[in-house]
Structure 1
Amino acid sequence: MLNKLSDTIYYLSNQDDRERPTLGLVCGDQYSLIIDSGNSTQHAKDFLLEIEKLNVPPVKYMVITHAHWDHFLGMNEFDATVIVNSQTSEKIQEWQNYTFDDSSLQKYVNTNQMSAMCMKIIQADMPNRNSFKLNSPDVIFENTLTIDLGKKVCILERIKSTHSDDSTIVYIPDEKVVFLGDCAYGTTTNSLFHYKQSLLLPMIEDIQKYNAEMFLLGHESICDSEEMNIYWKELTTASQVVKCTSLENATKRFMAVNKRDPNDNELFFIKAFVNDHIIQSQ
């Protein structure tokens, strides 16, 4: 079932057990816009069935927030103009060369081109996958793009991100709502989960320049301003004490600076920033 955020904004909640991110729907007077297409044919079809229950203008546009498989593998199911930034386009082009039979999927997993979970989802939720070929995006932008749905403007911007190099956010000014995709999360490199420390403050600045009150995230669904501010505060407080590859030193520095032990979230973030230093030193 779609969650109604306002008269013009809906979202399908994330399902982490099925690796399904939040999907968005923004409706203007003339057209509607979808944010991310889902992790598979079935995910996309489930979303479309929910949209059909609503009395909303036809879907004309789709924005892919970044080129991670769970956000774009459903895109063929939508009769919409697919919009991506230029780097997302390059990454999707790589997937257009993939074949999706069992032996090919296993090869991609063995060579770290695809996760085992991705293979499992494709096998379960993408019928006719032996003949499946991912479509090409229709509109490619560099930095920003504004879409008018009819008395409903959506601002797209590629921003700096601790998660991926090709993150696009979607801001709806009159609603003070922003869809962040996965941009505010960390990532995994060489089996180490980390936040890209050098991009943390630039990312927060990119996001906070928009006057948003509600934030839709890929794997949390929705947060208000207070919740996001707590998240930013814990991230930045953790980042400030990590200067090297030593978790012990970083934790001691946190306690010295803040006169307290880190909470569970802060300790998780400290470890992630230490991992980032380890990756940068390799």
Structure 2
Amino acid sequence: MLNKLSDTIYYLSNQDDRERPTLGLVCGDRYSLIIDSGNSPQHAQDFLLEIENLNVSPVKYVVITHAHWDHFLGMNEFDATVIVNSQTNESIKEWKNLSYDDSSLQKYVNTNQMSAMCMKIIQTDMPNRDCFKLKSPDVIFKNKLTIDLGNKICILERIKSTHTDDSTIIYIPDEKVIFLGDCAYGTTTNSLFHYKQSLLLPMIKDIQKYDAEMFLLGHESICDLNEINIYWEELTTASQVVKSTSLENAIEFFKAENKRDPNDNELFFIKAFVNDLIIQSQ
């Protein structure tokens, strides 16, 4: 069921048990725009069925926030202009050449080209997958793009991110709403979960330059300004105490600087920033 954020903005909540991220819908007087196409054709079709129940302008655009499979594998289901940044386009090209039969999928899992969860979702939610071919995006932008849906402006910008190198955010100025995709999350390298420490502050700066009050995230759905500021504060406080690959030293430094023990979130972030330094040292 779609959640109504305002008269012109809706979202389909994330379902982490099915690897389904938040999907967004922004409606103007002439056209509507979708944010992310879902993790499979079935996810996309479920979203489209929900949209059919609304009295909104026809969907003309689909924006992909980044090239992780759970955000774009439903792309073929939309009769709309698919928009990506140039780096996302390069990554999606690799998926266009894949085959989706069982033996090919297992080979991709065995060679770490694809996760086991991705294979399971494809096998469950992709009809006719033996002949499935991912289509190409239609519009490629480099850094920034503004779209007018009819009395409804959407600003697309590729920003620095601790999650991927190709993150696009979507800002709707008159609503003070911003769709972040997964850009504010960490990532996993060599089996270590980490936040890219060098990109943390540039990413926050890129996001905070927009006057937003509501933030849509890929796997938390939605949070307000106070909640996102707490998140930024916990991340930056954790980052500031990590100077080496020693978790023990970082925790002791945190205690000395803040006169308290780190909370659960801060401890999680400290470990992730330590992992980042470990990865850089390898």
* Band the TM-score falls in, shorter-chain normalisation: over 0.9
Q: What secondary structure sits across from 1:201 in the alignment?
A: helix
Q: What secondary structure sits across from 2:273 in the alignment?
A: helix
Q: What secondary structure sits across from 1:163 in the alignment?
A: coil
Cα deviation 1:39-76 (Å, max 9, x = unaligned):
00100000000000000000000000000000000000
TM-score of the pair, normalised by structure 2:
1.00
Cα deviation 1:123-150 (Å, max 9, x = unaligned):
0000100000000000000000000000
Code of the residue aligned with 1:255 in structure 2: it is: K
Code of the residue aligned with 2:100 in structure 1: it is: F
CA positional deviation for 1:232: 0.1
Distance (whole Å) between structure 1 residues aligned to residue 246 and residue 109 of structure 2: 32
CA positional deviation for 1:169: 0.1
Structure 2 partner of 1:11 = 11
Q: What secondary structure sits across from 1:112 in the alignment?
A: coil
Cα deviation 1:173-209 (Å, max 9, x = unaligned):
0000000000000000000000000000000000000
Aligned-residue Cα RMSD (Å) equals 0.3
Code of the residue aligned with 1:180 in structure 2: it is: L
1:177 aligned to 2:147? Answer: no
Distance (whole Å) between structure 2 residues aligned to residue 129 and residue 252 of structure 1: 53
Where has structure 1 moved over 3 Å in runs of 4 or more?
A: none
Distance (whole Å) between structure 1 residues aligned to residue 239 and residue 82 of structure 2: 36
Distance (whole Å) between structure 2 residues aligned to residue 103 and residue 253 of structure 1: 51
Structure 2 partner of 1:110 = 110
TM-score of the pair, normalised by structure 1:
1.00
Q: What secondary structure sits across from 1:272 in the alignment?
A: helix
Matched pairs, number: 282
Distance (whole Å) between structure 1 residues aligned to residue 185 and residue 72 of structure 2: 18
Distance (whole Å) between structure 1 residues aligned to residue 134 and residue 29 of structure 2: 30
Structure 1 unaligned blocks of 5 or more: none
The percentage of counterpart residues that share the same residue type is 87
Structure 1 partner of 2:235 = 235
Matches within 5 A, 1:43-82: 43-82=43-82
Structure 2 partner of 1:162 = 162
Q: What secondary structure sits across from 1:166 in the alignment?
A: coil
Structure 1 partner of 2:139 = 139
Structure 1 partner of 2:222 = 222
Code of the residue aligned with 1:159 in structure 2: it is: I
CA positional deviation for 1:31: 0.1
Q: What secondary structure sits across from 1:48 in the alignment?
A: helix
Structure 2 partner of 1:277 = 277
Structure 2 unaligned blocks of 5 or more: none
Code of the residue aligned with 1:248 in structure 2: it is: E
